[in-house]
Structure 1
């Protein structure tokens, strides 16, 4: 998307507000787009959401809320952003011109001028560019070149234009589905809607799994009936509601009922968490769909497709023991995933410390927990967490917990004794997707997990979920020992090794992101770790990791890896007494 970095503007000095002449028309169109968007924002919620998405290609936070169920059904790219409305609007204008006895040539000339303008007003997304140029190229060639271009040639020229304009957009799901499904429609015009819907599903499933890792069982059925729903209900009522204020409430009600219908379907239909298939599998499945078009032995091709899906699913869900330190920014989140997903444990969720600011700066967006943790879990075919350990109450450790719970089922939450009484924790619990209070279990070092590979070494007594009350968790993978200490302070680190003098670890998760309040020299000397991991955000406001902590590690000859530098750090049990620690820069072999 050609976005390379972000910046914060603290002051603007406008020295010359004259727009160069070559940009004047473009600026006026963008001003007009903004004016149209502001006008559409005045309509009721559902009419506003659909009209801004369809007319100007703008999706506000409200539209994402309305259509979350449509996303779950895998239908968002089939109509909301596909640009299909451009074809219907052009057809409507042409029919209206016939009624008013306006010549086809006059209509063509207006479309040649207006369609590129509308493309800019609609946001110039890949699907809008596709829809506009697939209509514009045949009209232009017929009017100026006296050449008749068929739909397939128009499609081919359009994809070349789109890739010249933005080559990297080829890697987005919107681009891939938009062009692929349009091609399926072009090549199967003579087929009935049922066969077209099945073919569209067959082609889209591999790409949807590659990008979203999930598939709804109703998507194939809905792909068949969604186009009539869009053509005869959603688009007409959106246009009528916008153009005629008298009907805006009625249109909003109809669109509300449509949204409720999709919401009920999404809630009642099972979602298959497949995981992320290998790229070669995606290419193979798409190739088999093409073979299905031309092969005389279609049954054989279908059997092969089923076998590929089964093999890919089994490969994704078959794994070795692994422990993942997420690159979650200035926060903590660690995943323990046992062989074949027999047990999935998450220690902390990361999160953002929020500061009070102006209302206009508030916006709804995905949390780092959704973008990083949820996506990783779904890509591995995981849709539930057996245990979530929240080491203490700080937002950078527990802030993402509510948003993660909306996407991933959490069976049990374990917190340090006393934290379950805190208003801040109970507020997050209420915001989460967890209704049963019995899911929460307060723990101390006396909690019994003897049947598992996890030992709780701290807290000793009831506290208030502060740094000094942090859970200290020891996990054993084969014979490799990991220690996670939350934000435990130095005083309590000493108490831990005094109570457990024989405690050793191979990989130490450095406490409090490398702050000087943690990682006491005596603590490190006693543990004798092979490696230390520091979960920290790049250029964070706290100056973590502190130079004193790094000196302590260096003085004890302990190499350390920081997530801000190495990205996500993963340790996998390769074979007996042999482990592999991998980062984005390479791998380290660890022997026990």
Structure 2
């Protein structure tokens, strides 16, 4: 909390902070800068220091804190925006603070235009704007209705920050914390006290080590109290509201509506008069648009969407049926468990696309880079069933980091060759399910092969199937043709034999690989083989997420990163 970072913190604690909307406390943000500036400004006022000295004290403390926090870009951005904005407010120059915020944002974007797409910049800037523009309005409204100033200020700050950042939170996380109001009233004041006491103890310890230890011990007790309160609030029923990502027209309308809160009464009356005069034309336009959308949907065939999610050096695909039901084929993961792909990539991706539950998960085999992410998905959202290869449930439990007796494992069963599942006209077939290796264990050679079909469009998923097993699949005489082939074993030389490519006859080959991965995937010889067969190559390390849509006849493809 003092200098940012999640190292050494339990996943449950971080999850509690996320659920209550106060996770920003664990990273240096504008709230830290504002807190330090507020304490220093209060101290200067208590000592009756001249204004020039007060300004120098506040700026010096912010600069010192930024140095202690490592002067990383997010800290510098927060120091510039939060420090200048709060300083202007502390000096009674609210209008100037808004101009300073605008100029600071423009200067930063001129210096680095890509900051516009950085979540840290977006959240810091919008939260600060909410503090400056919306918080005074909410505070005045609440105080006019008899609420004590302390509560009015706390609610105003929370509401303004949440409303100002709502579209960004919806885009990246797909959820908003409803328990944030209680957390900001009950927990955040304790955490802010801990931050101030912790910084104070660090300074005192240089001169009086014993006193420093006493203060640190006190902050530890307070931190335990804050953690318990957060844990309780995180588990309140209905504490999290799941929302889908907003389209840009909706975002524009949202901020327009939010901006009306800043209008004077005379301006609102003028706007009401204008809207009243436009009521009939606006209603006619709305009705025409509604009819046009209804007709378009009626004459447009329903589409299947298949997302190849960028999970680094691993496989994960999301299948969304024409009626919005979700299936997953592999879920990604890391071999060393250093990064929870399921919690930090898969679940946010699903929420971003409005997915709240998963009908079924099909895992090709138990290796972590294919199955580990399933553990977090099972814990964070409803999942109907999990189909596995033949290594045994215990192998998947180890891969996902869940106990052998966990009730979630009751959802698991082995997929049998020839099985098929049809949902909303989308068919998932188990084309190949080789037996587990002798003596147990897992391996690429046991990878299941799944085919997803919708109309005349097929997608073939081979996991890490090796050439020898590709040959065995072809020996069965099954029709393995598919328009899209997920390249076996991330483009390793052990997969994608010429005979297999000629049998599948894909138009597209998708390589799920990590950027500059240590394995050298995909191999050049494999890429040449695809090119010689006239197969269009798409790679997650270059394109990011790759999304196919099909109505059963035609195929459309788009990538997160535009391909040249």
Q: Which range is displaced more, 64-73 or 263-272?
A: 64-73
TM-score, length of structure 2 as denominator length = 0.75
Q: Among residues 443, 447, 460, which one is paired with 1:483 in the alignment?
A: 460
Q: Among residues 400, 406, 409, which one is paired with 2:373 in the alignment?
A: 400
SS at match of 1:577: coil
1:61 aligns with 2:7: yes
Q: Among residues 532, 536, 559, which one is paired with 1:559 in the alignment?
A: 536
Aligned twin of 2:38: 88
Aligned counterparts of 1:551 and 1:157: Cα–Cα separation in 2: 55
Aligned counterparts of 1:534 and 1:106: Cα–Cα separation in 2: 61
1:164 aligns with 2:107: yes
TM-score, length of structure 1 as denominator length = 0.72
Aligned counterparts of 1:78 and 1:462: Cα–Cα separation in 2: 48
Shift in Å, 1:384 = 2.8
1:445 aligns with 2:417: yes
Shift in Å, 1:176 = 1.5
1:337 aligns with 2:284: no
Aligned counterparts of 1:326 and 1:518: Cα–Cα separation in 2: 21
Aligned twin of 1:289: 258
Q: Among residues 54, 75, 80, which one is paired with 1:129 in the alignment?
A: 80
Aligned twin of 1:509: 486
1:419 aligns with 2:392: yes
Aligned twin of 2:134: 184
Superposition CA RMSD, Å:
3.8
Shift in Å, 1:391 = 0.9
Aligned counterparts of 1:520 and 1:59: Cα–Cα separation in 2: 46
Instruction: Note closer, same or farther for the CA distance 1:366–1:179 as it changes in structure 2 (3 Å cut).
Output: farther
Preserved contact between residue 514 and residue 549 of structure 1 (Cα < 8 Å): yes
SS at match of 2:369: helix
Q: Among residues 245, 252, 260, which one is paired with 2:220 in the alignment?
A: 252
Could you report, residue by residue, the CA deviation over 1:59-97 in whole angstroms, capped at 9, with x for unpaired residues? Answer: 342468544323222234489731331243124313541
Instruction: Note closer, same or farther for the CA distance 1:182–1:119 as it changes in structure 2 (3 Å cut).
Output: farther
Could you report, residue by residue, the CA deviation over 1:482-527 in whole angstroms, capped at 9, with x for unpaired residues? Answer: 1111111222222222223444222222212222322233323333
Shift in Å, 1:135 = 5.1
Aligned counterparts of 1:229 and 1:527: Cα–Cα separation in 2: 58
Preserved contact between residue 418 and residue 429 of structure 2 (Cα < 8 Å): no
Q: Among residues 410, 431, 438, which one is paired with 1:457 in the alignment?
A: 431
Instruction: Note closer, same or farther for the CA distance 1:77–1:185 as it changes in structure 2 (3 Å cut).
Output: farther
Aligned twin of 2:192: 235
| Mapping 1:526-537, distance limit 5 Å | 526-537=503-514
Preserved contact between residue 335 and residue 345 of structure 1 (Cα < 8 Å): yes
Instruction: Note closer, same or farther for the CA distance 1:339–1:92 as it changes in structure 2 (3 Å cut).
Output: same
Aligned counterparts of 2:517 and 2:26: Cα–Cα separation in 1: 42
Shift in Å, 1:260 = 1.7
Aligned counterparts of 1:386 and 1:483: Cα–Cα separation in 2: 19
Could you report, residue by residue, the CA deviation over 1:421-442 in whole angstroms, capped at 9, with x for unpaired residues? Answer: 43x7435241799643211111
Aligned counterparts of 2:529 and 2:193: Cα–Cα separation in 1: 69
Aligned twin of 1:23: none
Shift in Å, 1:255 = 2.4
Preserved contact between residue 402 and residue 432 of structure 1 (Cα < 8 Å): no
| Mapping 1:72-83, distance limit 5 Å | 72-77=19-24, 81=29, 82=31, 83=33
Aligned counterparts of 2:416 and 2:471: Cα–Cα separation in 1: 17
Instruction: Note closer, same or farther for the CA distance 1:502–1:160 as it changes in structure 2 (3 Å cut).
Output: closer
Could you report, residue by residue, the CA deviation over 1:165-221 in whole angstroms, capped at 9, with x for unpaired residues? Answer: 5655455212221232233224555342557355554444334323422112333x4
Q: How many residues align?
A: 495
Aligned counterparts of 2:218 and 2:357: Cα–Cα separation in 1: 41
Could you report, residue by residue, the CA deviation over 1:332-360 in whole angstroms, capped at 9, with x for unpaired residues? Answer: 22221112322x11111223333xxxxxx
Q: Which range is displaced more, 464-473 or 364-373?
A: 364-373
Preserved contact between residue 403 and residue 432 of structure 1 (Cα < 8 Å): no
Point out where structure 1 has 5 or more consecutive residues left out of the alignment. Answer: 1-49, 140-147, 355-363
Shift in Å, 1:111 = 4.3
Q: Among residues 360, 375, 379, which one is paired with 2:348 in the alignment?
A: 375
Preserved contact between residue 130 and residue 160 of structure 2 (Cα < 8 Å): no
Preserved contact between residue 116 and residue 132 of structure 1 (Cα < 8 Å): no
Aligned twin of 2:298: none
Instruction: Note closer, same or farther for the CA distance 1:75–1:321 as it changes in structure 2 (3 Å cut).
Output: same
Point out where structure 2 has 5 or more consecutive residues left out of the alignment. Answer: 144-150, 202-210, 277-281, 295-300
Aligned counterparts of 2:322 and 2:405: Cα–Cα separation in 1: 27
